[in-house]
Structure 1
Amino acid sequence: MHYRIGTRGSKLALVQSEYVKRRMEEAYPEDTFELVIIKTTGDKVTDKPLAAIGTKGLFVKEIEEELLSGSIDMAVHSMKDMPAECETGLTFAKAWKREDCRDVLILKTAGSFSELPSGAVIGTGSLRRACQLAMLRPDIQFTAIRGNVDTRINKLMDDSYGLDGIVLAAAGLNRLGRSSEITEYLDPEVVIPAPAQGVLAIETAEVNTELLDKINALSDDNSDREAVAERTFLRLTGGGCHAPVGAHCVTKDNGDLRMVVLFGNDDCSRILRIEVTGTDSEAVGHEAARMLGLE
């Protein structure tokens, strides 16, 4: 069989899609795979913060339309960019092995977050990141920044932007081979990552069960259980780009799940954090939402 893999055209998206393509080719040498580049709303509108654009699924809508039309057979996304609800007729494969879920800082001159001078300016397009870091350092300023990894790092190094640092996902830098540029890794228990950060979302049509089975055969059980718990919580918050939502689930040595979550309002004046444990992924997500009064 010949399969078409839909992807955004950014360097990171292509690296991720090439990785999926390579693993599928190795596992299924009788099949062939090609990448199809699709431009999304999030790629076209780069001068506004995500929360200001006003729609969920900024990086996926056009790709999902191609999936539903049958123009492509599967699509690769960053799971943290995906809407809480899967589009009708589409489904996600089980998660493969998760990359590092942490947020990281790349600082221009300071050696660590704690060493930043009062009034320093940090660039991030994420309300979740800004809210949590502001709680730790209320003397620091945050400004919206958009663009791919290269664009953001270039803005940091360009003095005209007045940035002292930027916040990025470790997973993206690792996949791009740029982890040496990281100044500091942020503790995921302190700065809680986005739900399913570091997980690749591999999406197919629900009816394409043969392809789905092939993808699922390469999944990682712990990564999948953790992603399901975090995404269940995200769905119950109604979360997207408009409110700070974080979730960090880990599998303990005994197989139980432990998850810390964050939920707040859009001006960061009210931020709630709780911790839950359990054995069933969806139940853990539901319990976290229940404890926050969200269901």
Structure 2
Amino acid sequence: MMSKRRVIRVATRPSLLAKRQTEQTVALLKSKNPEVDFEIKTFSTKGDLVLDRSLTQFGTTGLFVKELEMAMLNGEADIAVHSLKDVPSMTPTQFCLHAYPKREKAQDVLLTRHGEKLEDLKEGFVLGTGSPRRRVQIAQLRPDVIFKDIRGNIDTRIKKLHNGEYDAIILAAAGMNRLDIAFDINSVISLDDMVPAIGQGAIAIECLKNDDFSKDIVSSINDYDTEKAVLAERAFMREIEGGCKFPLAAHAIYEGDKLKMTALVGDGKSMKQIKHTVFLDILNTEKESIELAKVMKQECKDKDINYHLF
């Protein structure tokens, strides 16, 4: 018998980007489920409240997730909308990631004060980023770079760039697109030069595992291709045992009847890195991703690359 519920309360963070992507997700849900009403509720997370420290300095994962999960457990919300790259590799047993809408552009964008390309920036230029993944990869392209931490929303970061605090910053193209912030297509960093964060550009909708009504509703906007790609990336992340605190990256995309995945593991101290590209069988993507992670872990041991240091 169909539940009589007609309202789904949607938990999100208070940032402009989080609210915008939640509104876009809710619009998709509404288009597929016109009989259901959706109420967006905001909850501040630890990652939102502490802005004077780099994310790598926190001794825990799930900085942008746990408070939203607590809202569901406490009966204040029914589902939560997350940027998938913020979601830890292991989901608590009470919850499930049940839907992944079509993925946005996964690449990173390099913004500079005067429109320079990476190779044209002055020697010893200052790059604003707190991401170990971005630091290791940029250091391969420009060993003379000087890194400086940066926090805040996209607008804040762009203002800091133009105020002269940095010569360049790196932002995710997905976030800029969702906020309708224009950027030069030539500023997009190629996937060959910068492997994206695991899950970058993707949205995940989390539900309580026993909430069949919400699960049924959110599954209406699940994108199969996105799901296969991000589950492969996250299988790699679980096996490699790391997250955004460490120099790790993986990106999967369909090429014909295979899933092409590029994965990277780096050392935040030596800036050494290992990168592999493989083609995964569609029926065994997660299993083969795990095998790739095992190979790369052994290679890290052999080459004295410690990706748990930053």
Aligned to 1:151: 156
| Residues 37-78 of structure 1 deviation map (CA, whole Å, 9 limit, x = unaligned) | 000000111111110122111111111111222210001110
1:202 and 2:205 matched: yes
Amino acid at match of 1:250: I
C-alpha separation in 2, matches of 1:94 and 1:188: 25
C-alpha separation in 2, matches of 1:80 and 1:287: 21
Q: For the Cα contact (< 8 Å) 1:68–1:90, is it kept in 2?
A: no
Alpha carbons of 1:202 and 1:264: their partners in 2 closer, same or farther (altered >3 Å)?
same
Q: For the Cα contact (< 8 Å) 2:136–2:272, is it kept in 1?
A: no
> What value does the CA root-mean-square deviation take over the aligned residues?
1.6
| Aligned-pair CA distance for 1:261 | 0.3
Q: For the Cα contact (< 8 Å) 1:276–1:284, is it kept in 2?
A: no
Figure out how many residues of one structure are paired with residues of the other and give that number: 292
Alignment of 1:1-295 (within 5 A): 1-159=6-164, 161=165, 163-180=166-183, 184-253=187-256, 255-279=257-281, 280-293=284-297
Alpha carbons of 1:268 and 1:221: their partners in 2 closer, same or farther (altered >3 Å)?
farther
Aligned to 2:302: none
User: What stretches of structure 2 of length at least 5 have no aligned partner?
Assistant: 1-5, 300-310
| Residues 66-101 of structure 1 deviation map (CA, whole Å, 9 limit, x = unaligned) | 122221000111000111111221111232110000
Amino acid at match of 1:153: I
Alpha carbons of 1:30 and 1:155: their partners in 2 closer, same or farther (altered >3 Å)?
same
Amino acid at match of 2:286: E
The normalised TM-score by structure 2 is 0.90
The normalised TM-score by structure 1 is 0.95
| Aligned-pair CA distance for 1:183 | 5.8
| Aligned-pair CA distance for 1:224 | 0.8
Identity of aligned residues (%): 38
| Aligned-pair CA distance for 1:169 | 0.4
C-alpha separation in 2, matches of 1:57 and 1:294: 27
Worse-matched range after superposition: 148-157 or 212-221: 212-221
C-alpha separation in 1, matches of 2:288 and 2:216: 26
| Residues 121-164 of structure 1 deviation map (CA, whole Å, 9 limit, x = unaligned) | 110121100110011100111111011111111111112x2x11
C-alpha separation in 2, matches of 1:28 and 1:216: 11
SS in structure 1 of the partner of residue 63 of structure 2: coil
SS in structure 2 of the partner of residue 292 of structure 1: helix
| Residues 190-220 of structure 1 deviation map (CA, whole Å, 9 limit, x = unaligned) | 2100011000011110111222122122211
Amino acid at match of 1:150: D
Q: For the Cα contact (< 8 Å) 2:131–2:245, is it kept in 1?
A: no
| Residues 12-41 of structure 1 deviation map (CA, whole Å, 9 limit, x = unaligned) | 001001011111111111111011000000
User: What stretches of structure 1 of length at least 5 have no aligned partner?
Assistant: none
SS in structure 2 of the partner of residue 6 of structure 1: strand
| Aligned-pair CA distance for 1:182 | 6.6
C-alpha separation in 1, matches of 2:184 and 2:151: 19
Worse-matched range after superposition: 283-292 or 140-149: 283-292
C-alpha separation in 1, matches of 2:171 and 2:119: 17
Aligned to 2:306: none
C-alpha separation in 1, matches of 2:184 and 2:233: 28
